[in-house]
Structure 1
């Protein structure tokens, strides 16, 4: 899929996250002044805005909840420093969440918009539409 260096970076970033990257391995994709916005969804009803430290902390917490995960990439487009991805996220729970037992599969259809400068992600906006019912 990658045809543009910024798409390549965005895909590598998602794959690293799916592989369980945390700490410095995950931070390597982000500019120190990153702003990540997660729009309201079934897991984060109020939405969230995170800086780099909060992104890294969320990744650590996610390791306790998700046993394994992957992304299926459907579409990507880049223009200038902006990238848009359409992906399906599939995760398997390590622990129960709501009415779902450990081992249950979660699915979300996601649109992610990134701004990349200096070879790093400086802004990320996620629209996560969870298909799995909680």
Structure 2
């Protein structure tokens, strides 16, 4: 792995750590390019999927703060190919509101595959494939 690729992996880990720490909006915007595009493919929580730009990501982070008490990204595997970081991650979250059969204060769990593309050290594209445990 080149030094540049190691840097991209470090930025990615810092990005996920910032999310775990509950950072939102402008605090997370430092990781994104102005032209960022995030695609969340259809899953049980977001059946039609979502495509988000920078403003959408800021707004989503603020909404998430109302729903999530705490969360953790447990990276199982990571790869860097060119300017893209690929992660296999187990996500867990303690939720503030009931979702499906999970009560307020309960835990959600999902398995993620994420493809995070960079330009000039900033995230320009993020594609996420989420597989949630039943809820």
TM-score (norm 1): 0.94
How many correspondences in the alignment? 131
Unaligned runs of 5+ in 1: none
Taking the TM superposition and a 5 Å limit, the aligned residue runs for 1:1-134 are 4-131=6-133, 133-134=134-135
Measure, in 2, the Cα distance between the counterparts of 1:126 and 1:12. Answer: 17
Tell me which stretches of 4 or more aligned residues in structure 1 moved more than 6 Å.
Answer: none
Cα offset, 1:98, TM superposition: 2.6
State the SS of the aligned residue for 1:4.
Answer: helix
Distance in 2 (alpha carbons) for counterparts of 1:25 and 1:106:
25
Gaps of 5+ in 2: none
Deviation per CA, 1:65-118: give whole Å up to 9, x if none.
011111101111112111101110000011112332101100000000011111
